[in-house]
Structure 1
Amino acid sequence: MESGLLDDLDRRLAHALQLDGRASFSTIASVLGVSDQTIARRYRKLRSAGVLRVVGVPEAAPLGQVHWLVRLRCVPDAAAAIAAGLARRDDTQWVSLMSGGTEIVCFVRSPLREQTDGLLLGQLPRTPRVVSMTAYRLLRRFAGGPAGWPGRAGALSVSEVSSLRRTPSGGPYRPEPEDTALLAALAHDARADISTLAAACGRSQSTVRRRLEVLRSSGALYFDVEVDAALLGYPLTATLWLTVAPSALESAGRALAGHPQVAFAAATTGPANLVANVGCRDDAALYEYLAVDLGGLPGVQGVETAPMIRTLKRFGALEPV
């Protein structure tokens, strides 16, 4: 990483872990055509340096939850502290400070019937430092989630992907008391061994192994690889708030899912009905994406571009300081 970018093997390892976050080093090494020791050494080096982390991410619908995208505007000098507080919450994901330093965007997982002290019922707006809040309920995800971002998950061949990809069986998810603690432990480190997970849950290893399989096979849990987009050659990241004609919403969302710049895209409620996170190499690349790729999509009536300046939390839990 002398150049400040991940090399080819690191990228291939990250892609492999996106496909199966708990695949053994020997399995990954066999697919990538290198030794077990090489893969183990690379992973441990990246993990210990804080460059890469595999985390477990709960899927909202199987768990009886919904996802909201919350946009907060704050008074000057307050956004950083508020964002840090949001990042510490268990129900938040992907907390970012946006350009200008007065806006925060974050994902929130919420029960279908929200509790009276929930974030979205106005707890934060009572703080005078929050000027406004807009909440967008996610209706359909077109890009992101288990599939990952093509900008990160495009290093392996079709045959290599086929060897590693695991498809949920689609069986029903029925919650058990230990699942909450298990999901919390996986949000810190999805590659933790079964004994570590069992200790975190206070259950036997056989129980934890069984519940992990249920979560995975039902689609209630997937794995994500946290790595800074700048290390992949995309130092400029931005959130796009798009207004799309309702008749073109499905086609526009599917088109975005095919754009390599798009890490996440979803249809939402609210004043903008399609939102996307994109990664680009520089200003010229972002301009070309907006003018050419987005500009050529039928039904797109408007777009607001908000560059991110710092991401405090991705989809995993905050690591202890």
Structure 2
Amino acid sequence: MPNSVLDTLDYQIVRELQEDGRRAFREIARNVNVPEATVRTRVKRLQDLGILQILAFTNPSKLGQAKLALLFVEVDPQDHDRTVDNLGRWSEVSYLSTILGGADLCVQVLCRDDEGLFALRQRIRALPGVHEVRMMHEVKVHKIRFTLPPAEAETE
């Protein structure tokens, strides 16, 4: 998605929502000095374009016995898209990205316990075209936040 789809107002609205995803459109409108209807329309457009999702993050370390892990998956090039589509539908997968380097995919998963984590790893290993799955157990999350990088004017 090219950056030209977003203008300054879009970025301002997104930044407001990044501070508090439950912030009322009325408050955002006051903060960015536009009518509330404009904010509502812009947010809907950003959501329809797949640029913006408003959701709740949980802290996995506060979920008791839940196990959080990063898996690095090597997959045949011809099976890449099918593997992404498949993993993207699994409820245990919370983050999925294509990466460059020692693996093809980075998959963050949350399972109930060690047995669930092992079973999930085995399911991934059994997918067509998967060569290797390396796992790193995450013991504590210190920060989880995806934000827009500062605008050029903000870094000067």
Alignment TM-score > 0.5, same fold:
yes
Q: d(CA) in 1 for partners of 2:109 and 2:124?
A: 13
Deviation at 1:142, TM superposition (A): 4.6
Residue 172 (structure 1) aligns with? none
The amino acid that maps onto 2:79 is A
For 1:255-270, list aligned pairs within 5 A. Answer: none
**Offset from partner CA, 1:245-301 (integer Å, 9 cap, x none):** xxxxxxxxxxxxxxx9xxxxxxxxxxxxxxxxxxxxxxxxxxxxxxxxxxxxxxxxx
Query: What SS is found at the alignment partner of 1:136?
Result: strand
Residue 26 (structure 2) aligns with? 26
Q: d(CA) in 2 for partners of 1:58 and 1:140?
A: 13
Deviation at 1:28, TM superposition (A): 1.3
**Percent of residue pairs bearing the same amino acid type:** 22
Residue 35 (structure 1) aligns with? 35
Cα gap change, 1:132/1:116 in structure 2, threshold over 3 Å: closer, same or farther?
Answer: closer
Q: d(CA) in 1 for partners of 2:41 and 2:47?
A: 10
Contact residue 69 and residue 106 of structure 1 kept, 8 A: yes
Residue 57 (structure 1) aligns with? 57
> Cα RMSD (Å) of the superposition?
2.8
| TM norm structure 1 | 0.41
Query: What SS is found at the alignment partner of 2:78?
Result: coil
Write 1 or 2 for the structure with the bigger share of helix: 2
Q: d(CA) in 1 for partners of 2:120 and 2:2?
A: 42
Query: What SS is found at the alignment partner of 2:72?
Result: strand
Cα gap change, 1:3/1:78 in structure 2, threshold over 3 Å: closer, same or farther?
Answer: closer
Residue 104 (structure 2) aligns with? 103
Query: What SS is found at the alignment partner of 2:12?
Result: helix
**Offset from partner CA, 1:176-226 (integer Å, 9 cap, x none):** xxxxxxxxxxxxxxxxxxxxxxxxxxxxxxxxxxxxxxxxxxxxxxxxxxx
Contact residue 80 and residue 97 of structure 1 kept, 8 A: no
**Offset from partner CA, 1:109-153 (integer Å, 9 cap, x none):** 122443387313x2222346221110112234454x24x3351xx
1:84 equivalent in alignment to 2:82: no
Q: d(CA) in 1 for partners of 2:45 and 2:32?
A: 18
Deviation at 1:90, TM superposition (A): 0.6
Q: d(CA) in 2 for partners of 1:29 and 1:83?
A: 38
Deviation at 1:56, TM superposition (A): 2.2
**Offset from partner CA, 1:52-91 (integer Å, 9 cap, x none):** 2212233212222232110011233112211211000011
The number of equivalent residue pairs is 150
Contact residue 60 and residue 141 of structure 2 kept, 8 A: no
Cα gap change, 1:98/1:3 in structure 2, threshold over 3 Å: closer, same or farther?
Answer: closer
Query: What SS is found at the alignment partner of 1:77?
Result: helix
Q: d(CA) in 2 for partners of 1:12 and 1:4?
A: 15
Unaligned runs of 5+ in 1: 156-259, 261-321
Q: d(CA) in 2 for partners of 1:82 and 1:107?
A: 14
Q: d(CA) in 1 for partners of 2:129 and 2:110?
A: 23
Contact residue 61 and residue 141 of structure 2 kept, 8 A: no
Cα gap change, 1:140/1:3 in structure 2, threshold over 3 Å: closer, same or farther?
Answer: closer
For 1:195-206, list aligned pairs within 5 A. Answer: none
Q: d(CA) in 2 for partners of 1:73 and 1:3?
A: 30
For 1:1-321, list aligned pairs within 5 A. Answer: 4-64=4-64, 65-99=66-100, 103-115=104-116, 118-120=119-121, 122-127=122-127, 129-143=129-143, 145-146=144-145, 148-149=146-147, 151=149, 154=150
Q: d(CA) in 2 for partners of 1:128 and 1:105?
A: 17
